[in-house]
């Protein structure tokens, strides 16, 4: 069974929450990091855009603008 076929997996849901909490903590400690940069980090770690958006609490339609803002900052 692959992760893409699993819907409502309680383990995946809890991992998403843990990742979200760690990312929120990182943003509080490092005021320079943006949601767009975190999105890029999650995607570069192998997460699909849809999964990264879910973890960050974003709508999939917002991803392009966040990626663009992360690219401009660098």
Instruction: Classify the C-alpha dihedral 26-31-35-38 as positive or negative.
Output: negative
User: 34-66: per-residue pLDDT in tens?
Assistant: 888 889 889 999 988 889 998 898 998 888 888
CB atoms within 10 A of CB 38: 22
* pTM score: 0.70
Structure confidence at residue 67 as a pLDDT band (50, 70, 90):
confident
CA atoms in the 13 A half-sphere facing the CB of 17:
6
């Amino acid at each position: 069974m692959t992760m893409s076929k699993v819907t409502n997996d309680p383990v995946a849901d809890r991992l998403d929450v843990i990742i979200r909490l760690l990312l929120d903590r990182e943003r509080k400690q490092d005021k320079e990091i943006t949601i767009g940069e975190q999105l890029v980090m999650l995607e570069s770690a192998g997460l699909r855009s849809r999964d990264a958006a879910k973890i960050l609490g974003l709508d999939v339609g917002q991803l392009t603008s966040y990626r663009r803002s992360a690219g401009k900052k660098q």
